[in-house]
Each structure stands twice: as C-alpha cells, then as structure tokens.
Amino acid sequence: MTLHFETLAIHDGQTPDPLTGAVTVPVYQTSTFGRESLDSRPEYFYSRIGNPTRTALESTLALLENGRHGLAFASGVAAITAALQVLRPGDHIVAGADIYGGTYRIFEQIMRQWGVETSYAADASTESYEACLRPETKMIWIESPSNPLLQVTDIRAVSGIARPKGIVTAVDNTFPSPYFQRPLELGADIVVHSTTKYLGGHSDVIGGAVVTNEDRFHHAIRNYQAAAGAIPGPWDCWLVLRGLKTLKVRMREHEATALHLARALQEHPKVSKVFHPGLPDHPGHELAKRQMHGFGGMLTIALEGGLPAVGKLTSATKLFVLADSLGGVESLIASPARMTLGALSPEERQRRGCTDDLVRLSVGLENAADLEEDLMNALATI
C-alpha cells in the first residue's frame, strides 16, 4: 500500500509504544541508556548520538521529503551548517540571490574563514546560477520561493546542470514545506529545513532538519551531528512531530488565506506591489505551478511611502504581530530591511532588491476576513 502524505505524517515511525501501547511517541527524556554488558551494542546508549523520540522525527521528516535519510538539529542554522560539511577548504558555493539572512551570515562569516567562498546569482534564473560557476564550485544553494521576494528557481534545471559536473544541489525548503514542494523529487541532493517554521507550526520550538537520499552525504552529516552535537532535545523533537501531523491541513489553510489577502491587497492604493507566486502576474507563477503542489502562505508587499509607511503599518495591525519568524498559526508582520535582513549592509540589501518599502506577512490560521480587516484598518493609518 502506498500511503499518502498526511497518512505518513501521522503514522510513519510512530507505531504505538511497544511497552505501554501509548499512541504518541513518548518523550524519552533521558541522557543515557543502560547497557546489558560490556559486549552489548545497543541501538541507544547516549542521547547526543541517538534518542528514540529524535529517531521518530528523523524518520518522518525523511518520508515527507520522499528521502531515505533524515537528521534533526537544534536549529535551522545548525542544519545548514551541518549540510555544508560535505564541502572542503577551497570549494566554492553558488547561492541564490535572495537567501535567508542567517544563511548569508554562515557563508560570509563562517565558511569564508575556512576557505569556502560563495558567489551569489544575480536573480532566480537558471542562467544566473550558471554564470557564477567556477571549476572549484562544489555546491549550489537554492531557496525557492525565496525570502522575502518569493522568487522561484527551477530546481530541476539547476540540479540538471550541477549533477554532471559533480556539484551538489542543496535546497532550503523551509518556505514551501514538503507538503508544497519536494526538491529531492526534482533532482536536488540535499534538503534543509528550519523546523521552527511550518513544520513545527506553532511558534513554540526552534529546530532544523537535513534530508538526503545519498548514503555518503548522510554519513558525513550524521557524523557531524554526533561529533559537533547541535542536536534537538526530546521535547523539541516531540513538538515538531506533533506539528507534522497537521502540516497538510495547516498548509492548505495558510495558502488559501494568503491568496485571498494577496488579491485584496493588489487593489489597495497604498500597496505598490504584491509578491506571491500564486498570483498570475508573478514572474515565477508558471514555474511554481510546475514544480510545486501549492504556492505557500508567505506574502510580501511593497508600500507607497517607504519606511515611514512601513513603520505605521507594522505598528497599527492588531492581529498581525510585529515579529521575526514565520510559519506559525498566528499571523506575523515584519520589515525585511529593518528586521530579518537588518544585519546586512545597505549595499547588500540593495543588491538583493530588499528595499525599505517591503513588508513581509506570514499568514496564519485566523479567519481570512478578520485578517483582511486588520490589514485594511492598519493601511488606513498611513
């Protein structure tokens, strides 16, 4: 029997506890496990190396991405750092134009000092990634849809160029979640997640994940996980597991409300632009229709009136909370220029098209009409 996404999210790796019959995976809140004898080789002996609650999460994450191996980490950036361990000094990365600010910081402040340089594509087109390739390029790093402009990269085309050259394609799949996009099916080699966002889904946990089909990548990254130790605790694993069970219904609702708001905001005179891949005039719309199973719950708008208008809107909403992060049940509003990408230099923000007039919305699970009214009331204060 081939099980569907939402069935796997609830049942995979989560059979009733053999000891008690508990239907949810217990939180194995223990640092170590007793051994029978000096010769015994138990599956679990120390929770940095392995813990049954974490195993259940890792197994479910792998299945939802249609991958063979899943690994859980203490944060999204820990997962990203672990995935980069397949590289060696002297290697070169080509990254998307519009990547998460924390990933940019890892590339520029951590990897560079270990001799790994990164170049950034000019835009989301396949040609712009190709133009950055060097003989020593060993990895292409994609975020699609990107943050905050929601640009769409053709994962199949880029990984198709990378593979014959022995270049690893890694995709940060945090924005769409595996419900809307499965990069391994499109030819990517490694998928990373901030499980803090949609996978956890309730703004109550920080976590990350790496999924791959390749044994050699899995072994390198698993070895790093055990050796460097950025593992999530059992409670955090349990919270993400609980989030995954409702991922499908949450993603559908996030998307429906985001599209509703995108259309409403397009009509508003103070909104100069609306970025959402589900809108037919979005440059990535056709590509998103082909490579994704939905368009997601993130929405970015540009305001007439620049930063002062952004300041007014973000302090006037009552339901949209002014906060970093995304992907939770509650709607959040943010200024990419002042918050999520605020640590970048003004030149770097300009290169990325991250202008001061942008507002990023993480559309939650509240009633769509209530959210629309909240935004309209707040826009009226500008």
Ligand X SMILES: *Cc1c(COP(=O)(O)O)cnc(C)c1O
DSSP annotation of 185: G
Residues 313-372 that bind ligand X (CB under 6 A): none
Q: Determine which residue in the list 69, 138, 197, 349 makes contact with ligand X, applying CB under 6 A.
A: 197
Within 10 angstroms of residue 168's Cβ, the number of other Cβ atoms is 24
Active site residue 98: no
Stretch that binds ligand X, among 11-19, 73-81, 110-118, 157-165 (CB under 6 A): 73-81
Residue 260 C-alpha from the chain's centroid: 23
When the beta carbons of 337 and 379 are compared against ligand X, the nearer one is 337
Q: Determine which residue in the list 118, 153, 177, 194 makes contact with ligand X, applying CB under 6 A.
A: 194
Instruction: Decide: is 107 part of the binding site for ligand X (CB under 6 A).
Output: no
Q: Which residues contact 132 (CB under 8 A, 6 or more apart)?
A: 94, 119, 120, 121
Residue 324 CB, nearest distance to ligand X (Å)? 8
Q: Determine which residue in the list 60, 174, 291, 362 makes contact with ligand X, applying CB under 6 A.
A: 174
- What is the C-alpha to C-alpha distance for residues 368 and 374, in angstroms, rounded to an integer? 10
The full length of the chain comes to: 382
- The structure tokens listed for 202 are 């309730």
Residues 13-32 that bind ligand X (CB under 6 A): none
DSSP annotation of 164: G
* Residue nearest to ligand X as judged by C-beta position: 76
Stretch that binds ligand X, among 170-178, 181-189, 233-241, 371-379 (CB under 6 A): 170-178
When the beta carbons of 13 and 232 are compared against ligand X, the nearer one is 232
Name the catalytic one among 54, 91, 98, 100.
100
Binding mask 203-242 for ligand X (x = CB under 6 A): ---x-x----------------------------------
- Residues in the interface with ligand X (CB under 6 A) total 16
Strand partners for 140: 94, 169
Q: Determine which residue in the list 47, 60, 147, 181 makes contact with ligand X, applying CB under 6 A.
A: 147
Name the catalytic one among 91, 154, 172, 236.
172
Name the catalytic one among 54, 138, 197, 248.
197
Helix axes 247-266, 368-379, angle to 10 degrees: 40
Active site residue 100: yes
- What is the C-alpha to C-alpha distance for residues 207 and 175, in angstroms, rounded to an integer? 14
Instruction: Decide: is 129 part of the binding site for ligand X (CB under 6 A).
Output: no
Peptide bond into 148 cis (omega under 30): yes
Q: Determine which residue in the list 25, 57, 72, 77 makes contact with ligand X, applying CB under 6 A.
A: 77
Residue 33 CB, nearest distance to ligand X (Å)? 28
Instruction: Decide: is 116 part of the binding site for ligand X (CB under 6 A).
Output: no
Q: Determine which residue in the list 100, 129, 141, 275 makes contact with ligand X, applying CB under 6 A.
A: 100
Place of tokens 């901030």: 194
Cite the beta strand spans of 78-212 per DSSP E. 92-95, 117-120, 137-143, 168-172, 190-194, 208-212
Active site residue 204: no
SS3 140: strand
Using an 8 Å Cβ cutoff, are 324 and 342 in contact?
Answer: no
- What is the C-alpha to C-alpha distance for residues 269 and 267, in angstroms, rounded to an integer? 7
Nearest to 232 by CA among 219, 223, 241, 244: 241
Catalytic residues: 48, 100, 172, 197
Contact residues toward ligand X (CB under 6 A) are 75-77, 100, 102-103, 143, 147, 172, 174-175, 194, 196-197, 206, 208
